[in-house]
Amino acid sequence: MIKLLFMGTPDFAAASLKALYETGKYDIEVVTQPDRPKGRGNVLTPPDVKVFALEHGLNVYQPETFRDGAFREELARINPDIAVVAAYGKILPQYVLDCPKYGCINIHGSLLPKYRGAAPMQRAIINGETRTGITIMKMDAGLDTGDMLLKYELEIAPDDTFEDLFEKMARAGAKSIVSALPMIIDGTLVPEKQDGSLSSYAAKIEKEDCVIDFSKSASDVYNHIRGLSPVPLAFTFRADGTQIKIVSARLSEKIQSLPCGSAVENGGLIDVVCGDGKAVSILSLIPAGRKKMTSAEYLRGHRLTDGEKFGG
């Protein structure tokens, strides 16, 4: 039986681990991130990959770092034939990349060489892409620069949020790695070099990336909101400086003859005028210190001055 080292952390990775486990073809051991505090209570919470692994009797390792070389002994004991990496969250040192006989194989959430980096799904939606997919690739020392082995393309629907796309991509990643591994092991998949001139970088989402710029077109603002929903959420500020996180929105059919950033009530929704003169309708939001609510619920307790400027 093939010895497989699986390295991953969130539910995106857990979907692929589950699919590989269910084939019954691999002797699997797991590496994942350490348990982290989570939620308002800062409760120490195991990663999704760890939860699945322990439920199915798989050995789990959670190194804090690879820099001290302490994992070398465990890696030598495991002696994997192949390693599969999916949203692990740490850079792998060369000694890990070099260890498996058939290499380290990554499940990447874009059609490489486009959207290399940490946030390919969010950035694809924010940028208004209509297609994306999974690339199964052989890892090297660069950032998502290794040879491509298999691609699985899928559609980004006009109303897909990050959550919607994440679920699609998790299923696609699981399907792709199950198909690819036997061909990688028997040598029938031909590696394809990436064209670096076609590459783009999908940087990690930072707080400043979440601020809504209403001077952009309504389509751009709408894409921004759905690309960050349900986490970390795009946000704006009312005229009094109160922050509002936007959970869901749609393009408004009503034309508002008001300056960019002006907010008006529209049948229980909040329409905000954008740079192209069109508007987005806010459907649901999270006011500062409160839980998620519909715009109608919010407006019952928070008066909106007609034409009030959003954006601070």
According to DSSP, the residues that pair with 180 across neighbouring strands are none
Tell me which residue of 113, 100, 126, 98 sits closest to 181, measured CA to CA. 100
Banded model confidence at residue 292, pLDDT cuts 50, 70, 90: very high
Domain assignments of the chain as residue spans, ordered by start? 2-198, 207-309
Q: Which fold has domain 207-309?
A: Methionyl-tRNA Fmet Formyltransferase; Chain A, domain 2 (3.10.25)
DSSP-assigned beta bridge partners for residue 270: 265, 282
Window from 54-58, 70-74, 290-294 with minimum mean pLDDT: 70-74
Give residue 95's pLDDT band: very low, low, confident or very high (50, 70, 90).
very high
Q: What is the pLDDT of residue 169?
A: 98
Q: Mean of the pLDDT values across residues 238-253?
A: 95
Confidence at 312, pLDDT banded by 50, 70, 90: low
DSSP category for residue 58: -
Name the token pair of 2: 């093939």
In 139-216, which ranges are E strands?
A: 148-155
**Amino acid sitting at position 222:** Y
Nearest Cα neighbor of 259 from 237, 277, 280 is: 277
Q: Are 225 and 249 in contact (CB under 8 A)?
A: yes
Which fold does the domain 2-198 belong to in CATH? Rossmann fold (3.40.50)
249 Rama sector, left if φ>0, alpha if ψ -120 to 50, beta otherwise = beta
Question: Is pLDDT at 234 greater than 80 in this prediction?
Answer: yes
More confident residue, 42 or 237: 237
Q: Residue 41 has what pLDDT?
A: 79
Q: Give every CB contact of residue 200 below 8 A, 6+ residues apart in sequence.
A: 113, 114, 115, 116
Burial of 187 (0-12, 13-18, 19+ CB in 10 A): exposed
What pLDDT does 39 receive?
77
Q: Are 136 and 176 in contact (CB under 8 A)?
A: yes
Model pLDDT for residues 4-53, shown as the tens digit of each residue: 999 999 999 999 999 999 999 999 999 999 999 987 778 899 999 999 99
**Distance of alpha carbon 178 from alpha carbon 190, whole angstroms:** 17
